[in-house]
Structure 1
């Protein structure tokens, strides 16, 4: 993927497509194009003006997402609203969500993400997008070098009562054996505690190569897993109620050494500063290449409902 500064998602409207302003018009257009090739060329496609609502979303998803995935191993709170369709991250609206590639901390991640705006926020609430290759290129060379050895992600998932997500919600099952079957082929280390909590440990690279373009991409969530990006007040409050070994998530360098606070703040701030905002309109459908493009969320006020689904 190019790291040019003028990158933006490709906009597709009924006028551009030569079809009616309806969901049926969008379906007809999708049937006439090669979605895979178009996404490889542009990395993000914004279908605007087709009036897609929550009920009609199922009509267009099969073409855009050939095989919808469950949000297995996801670390953020969401509500499942349909067959592998979820609300976007349910995080207080007054806070931005920093740039990231979905499940980049996990051993398996989706190749595509689809977002659909059911209700845009009264103010704010844009979804920023960022060329992951450019993000990597713009980072300080010292940070890139420090991260080159990879990262170690640790999770503490309680068994039903506690801070953060439970392992049942994370893996969408109540069966320990099923969780172990999911973890076994991933190279993860895990242990069950006497209180029915689950600890996991994954070592992952900080960058990956895009399977089509070969470009090296920044592909990790170190800043989101590191307490320094929570702010000193929140860090202090969290330390007072949660033992360090029971933090829902934490991250170090692969060798276990700590990541300096200033490194993750630089990664977070650089990502949000470089991103291109998608200011939602009702009925928008956005398809992105989850490897080539990072996404986040701007702070907002008012009611906002954006749904998300993902696929290989």
Structure 2
């Protein structure tokens, strides 16, 4: 699959919605409109541009777009919390591409919506690519889809403050083991506290899901991001020398424990990136996506880039 079959996020501007070109104008539009939910499901992703939103004027906009803002609990990517359930986007080095994924698709529950805000646009690159997750599923070879039919098994090894990857304290935003266990008990996960203070979590999840409104079946797992093959040949080979796959900070297999072939996860990764549409950032832009219907990622960039993210159910 080499194109996005004509799909694009819908761009909304002050002129198109009849609002003033200001954060106050956008907030007034959001408080008066009654069809935003239906519009998001129809269009899958919305870009709000030229409303002159700043980080200082962002809060009422988020209140209008995210009715129940969620904490990034059990998230596996490195972020910094900068406000009330507001985070920096994934803090990977700028030269790397972040492959397409639906946020927290490996978890028992995931956000319905994601909101991105561009506080500082990069000098070059740094787009947030988005992909129609239904087309992503359809783009995969039949044998790959069939191999994933039984679902996947995710394994996390979270350290106690020192080690490779994230700590369990950062992952769950607490240092109380009882709170972590209460959270995990409701997620159908199994877990084990290790003698070094770390935490090992195993979860089995389906590889696809259906949108609760449209009924569309979509690709909905992060096997390519959790698989050592996605790290690149050299990195994967070096890690394999020092630890087995199931001791990595995160790893994945098919649900029955059998290994996922490297060529499967590479196909999953590459077909999505090829089908993606880039949202190129300008300062003050906002991007709202339906997290089931749309996957997202990040292109490499140069210069400072500050994109904030928040989510809701």
TM-score by length of 2: 0.97
In the TM superposition, residue 109 of structure 1 has moved relative to its aligned partner by 0.4
Q: The residue matched to 1:89 in structure 2 has which SS?
A: coil
Q: The residue matched to 2:55 in structure 1 has which SS?
A: coil
State how 1:36-115 maps to structure 2 within 5 Å.
36-115=37-116
Q: Which residue of 2 aligns with 1:189?
A: 190
Measured in 1, the distance between the counterparts of 2:66 and 2:178 equals 29
Measured in 1, the distance between the counterparts of 2:191 and 2:257 equals 16
Q: The residue matched to 1:201 in structure 2 has which SS?
A: strand
Contact persistence 2:4–2:275 (CA under 8 A):
no
In the TM superposition, residue 244 of structure 1 has moved relative to its aligned partner by 3.9
TM-score by length of 1: 0.97
Q: 1:55 and 1:242, CA in 2 relative to 1: closer, same or farther beyond 3 A? A: farther
In the TM superposition, residue 241 of structure 1 has moved relative to its aligned partner by 4.4
Does 1:32 pair with 2:28?
Answer: no
Measured in 1, the distance between the counterparts of 2:55 and 2:250 equals 32
Q: Deviations over 1:204-253 (max 9, x none)?
A: 00000110000100000000000001111111232344454431000000
Contact persistence 2:118–2:308 (CA under 8 A):
yes
Q: Which residue of 2 aligns with 1:220?
A: 221
State how 1:276-295 maps to structure 2 within 5 Å.
276-295=277-296
Measured in 2, the distance between the counterparts of 1:177 and 1:70 equals 18
The ranges of structure 1 where at least 4 consecutive aligned residues each deviate by more than 6 angstroms after the TM superposition are none
Q: Which residue of 2 aligns with 1:237?
A: 238
Q: Structure 2: state its 5+ residue gaps.
A: none
State how 1:72-221 maps to structure 2 within 5 Å.
72-221=73-222
Measured in 1, the distance between the counterparts of 2:171 and 2:44 equals 28
Measured in 2, the distance between the counterparts of 1:169 and 1:31 equals 35
Measured in 2, the distance between the counterparts of 1:289 and 1:80 equals 22
Q: Structure 1: state its 5+ residue gaps.
A: none
Q: The residue matched to 1:55 in structure 2 has which SS?
A: helix
Measured in 2, the distance between the counterparts of 1:241 and 1:4 equals 40
Q: The residue matched to 1:115 in structure 2 has which SS?
A: strand
